[in-house]
């Protein structure tokens, strides 16, 4: 069934709402270029809307709003409903980590008078896309005494930026014969950090200059970089894209486009019957591992703490709460790209301007590694979205056996809850700059609000 493009359906009032949500979304992207920055921005926004730290709260009653942040990289928000907690929650989940280059733990070196930071890429990237683009460094450096420096260099107009060099085309005849997967190799994704020798240094004087600057600016020693998490990301702000300004081009839209629309829906929801929950997690891009990834128990523990403060906690009730919950596990989908038509099945693709996308399943090689949502649950979602006049589309990621990918959906499904993959379609997924439709951002936000309000 051919769906009408959302832009043709919006009245003036909705277009105003769309522009506001998209402006706030761009501001969120600019404030959160790492999972840590996202968590602090989410806490800032949540506290301004009446959310409190769960651990600081006493007894919780319906209407109360609390959050739990885990190691400053993952966060869960809860809005207590009037229904019993053990009847389940309506959960919106997304991830806030994005592909990037991480600094190695002994990053600084010098070669032929040029100083570099050595990196190790994080998540799935096409390495050749990361050369000769302006880069910024974000993160933290922690000293042995536990004190911490927060770093962000390359975003302000007056900041310096960084870059990975590429070979000039004039000398590239051999390089251009290579396969795209090795034309730029991971070990060569080192960022150029300096070229000005420090006076009086005999060896590695350019690197010595960098050490001196780190001492001056951050009061850290070179060894402190061992206990740092410094992430190299594309420098610059999220921008409107297209002469008609119908799109957004920005770094990290996978998956902050779903994280932001889920968060905004959560914060803008005034009353709920079923308890509403929003989980925004780290480490999805490397398999949801670690203490801050979805496979960690932090979420289950947070729900146990929540139940304890609501009153009447038992292990059985906790299990019931999770098993009776319903979830939209939101992650980006691959929007149909006419330039690469051969990797898509057009009949099962998603398109710009047609609303958020549901994927019954993700995975690869015969749905391997996916969650597979139940037909009964999909029918309920169709009703909630339909009753609230929210546009949506059903799609798969690309042609069968063209590739594939996973999400956090299957991890939550292990509790026995109803989970579906959903999200927003984007172009150039995992590229330094990704493109999305503003109409889809707005419609996802509307859909998530409808889900929190009406899913039973
Ligand atoms: Mn993703
Ligand atoms: Mn991804």
Answer yes or no: are the C-beta atoms of 440 and 395 closer than 8 Å.
no
The tokens describing 309, both together, are 């403060």
Answer yes or no: are the C-beta atoms of 77 and 52 closer than 8 Å.
no
Ligand 1 centroid to Cα of residue 291, in Å, is 18
Ligand 2 centroid to Cα of residue 255, in Å, is 7
Q: How far is CA 274 from CA 86, 96, 410, in A?
A: 10, 25, 22
Q: Where are the beta strands (DSSP E) in 155-267?
A: 191-194, 228-234, 239-241, 247-250
Ligand 2 centroid to Cα of residue 184, in Å, is 21
- Alpha carbon 106 to its chain centroid, in Å, reads 27
Percent of residues in the chain assigned helix, strand, coil, to nearest 5: 35, 25, 40
Ligand 2 centroid to Cα of residue 286, in Å, is 9
Radius of gyration of the CA atoms of the chain, in A: 23
Residue 152: how many other CB atoms lie within 10 Å: 14
At 368 the pLDDT is: 87
At 2 the pLDDT is: 59
Answer yes or no: are the C-beta atoms of 208 and 202 closer than 8 Å.
no
Distance from C-alpha of 119 to C-alpha of 264, rounded to nearest angstrom: 34
Ligand 1 centroid to Cα of residue 339, in Å, is 22
Ligand 2 centroid to Cα of residue 285, in Å, is 5
Ligand 1 centroid to Cα of residue 40, in Å, is 20
Ligand 1 centroid to Cα of residue 254, in Å, is 5
Ligand 2 centroid to Cα of residue 114, in Å, is 33
Answer yes or no: are the C-beta atoms of 281 and 76 closer than 8 Å.
no
Distance from C-alpha of 207 to C-alpha of 435, rounded to nearest angstrom: 37
Answer yes or no: are the C-beta atoms of 274 and 83 closer than 8 Å.
yes
Ligand 1 centroid to Cα of residue 285, in Å, is 7
Ligand 2 centroid to Cα of residue 96, in Å, is 10
At 1 the pLDDT is: 46
Q: Which ligand is nearest to the CA of 100?
A: 2
Q: Which ligand is nearest to the CA of 99?
A: 2
Answer yes or no: are the C-beta atoms of 93 and 262 closer than 8 Å.
yes
Q: Which ligand is nearest to the CA of 123?
A: 2
Ligand 2 centroid to Cα of residue 67, in Å, is 25
Extract the residue ranges of the chain whose pLDDT is less than 50.
Answer: 1
Q: Which ligand is nearest to the CA of 330?
A: 1
Answer yes or no: are the C-beta atoms of 260 and 28 closer than 8 Å.
yes
The kind and range of the H/E element at 16 are helix 12-31
The neighbourhood of ligand 2, an ion, using CB within 5 A, equals: 254
ω into residue 255 within 30 of 0, thus cis? yes
Ligand 2 centroid to Cα of residue 259, in Å, is 13
Ligand 1 centroid to Cα of residue 157, in Å, is 29
Q: Which ligand is nearest to the CA of 255?
A: 1
Ligand 1 centroid to Cα of residue 158, in Å, is 32
At 228 the pLDDT is: 98
Ligand 2 centroid to Cα of residue 398, in Å, is 15
Ligand 2 centroid to Cα of residue 395, in Å, is 17
Ligand 2 centroid to Cα of residue 375, in Å, is 26
Q: Are strands 114-122 and 100-111 parallel, antiparallel or unpaired?
A: antiparallel
At 403 the pLDDT is: 84
Q: Which ligand is nearest to the CA of 359?
A: 1
Ligand 2 centroid to Cα of residue 98, in Å, is 7
């Amino acid at each position: 069934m051919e769906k009408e493009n959302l832009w043709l359906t919006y009245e003036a009032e909705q277009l105003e709402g769309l522009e506001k949500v998209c402006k706030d979304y761009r501001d969120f992207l600019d404030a959160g270029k790492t999972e840590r920055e996202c968590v602090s921005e989410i806490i800032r926004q949540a506290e301004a809307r009446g959310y409190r730290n769960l651990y600081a709260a006493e007894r919780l009653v319906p209407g109360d709003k609390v959050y739990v942040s885990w190691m400053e990289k993952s966060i869960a928000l809860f809005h207590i409903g009037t229904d019993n907690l053990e009847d389940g929650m309506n959960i919106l989940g997304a991830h806030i980590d994005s592909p990037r280059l991480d600094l190695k733990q002994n990053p600084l070196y010098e070669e032929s008078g040029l100083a570099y930071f050595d990196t190790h890429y994080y998540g799935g990237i096409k390495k050749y896309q990361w050369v000769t683009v302006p880069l910024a460094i974000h993160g933290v450096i922690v000293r042995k005494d536990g004190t911490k420096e927060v770093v962000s260099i390359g975003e302000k107009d007056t900041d310096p930026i960084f870059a990975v060099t590429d070979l000039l085309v004039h000398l590239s005849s051999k390089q251009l014969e290579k396969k795209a997967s090795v034309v730029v190799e991971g070990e060569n994704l080192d960022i150029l950090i300096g070229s000005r020798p420090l006076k009086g240094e005999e060896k590695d004087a350019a690197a010595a200059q960098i050490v001196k600057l780190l001492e001056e600016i951050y009061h850290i020693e070179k060894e402190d970089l061992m206990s740092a998490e410094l992430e190299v990301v594309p420098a610059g702000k999220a921008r409107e894209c297209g002469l008609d300004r119908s799109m957004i081009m920005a770094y990290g839209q996978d998956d902050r486009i779903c994280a932001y629309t889920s968060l905004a829906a959560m914060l803008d929801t005034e009353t709920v019957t079923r308890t509403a929950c929003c989980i925004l997690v780290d480490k999805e891009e490397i398999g949801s591992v670690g203490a801050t990834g979805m496979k960690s128990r932090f979420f289950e523990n947070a729900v146990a703490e929540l139940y304890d403060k609501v009153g009447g906690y038992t292990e059985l009730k906790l299990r019931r709460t999770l098993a009776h919950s319903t979830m939209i596990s939101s992650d980006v989908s691959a929007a149909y790209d006419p330039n690469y038509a051969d990797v898509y099945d057009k009949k099962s693709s998603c398109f710009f301007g047609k609303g958020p996308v549901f994927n019954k399943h993700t995975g690869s090689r015969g749905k391997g590694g996916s969650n597979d949502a139940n037909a009964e649950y999909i029918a309920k979602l169709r009703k909630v979205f339909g009753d609230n006049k929210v546009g949506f589309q059903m799609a798969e990621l690309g042609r069968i056996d063209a590739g594939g990918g996973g999400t956090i959906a299957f991890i939550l499904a292990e509790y026995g809850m109803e989970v579906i993959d959903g999200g927003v379609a984007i172009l150039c997924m995992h590229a330094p700059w990704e493109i999305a439709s503003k109409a889809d951002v707005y419609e996802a936000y509307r859909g998530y609000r409808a889900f929190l309000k009406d899913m039973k």
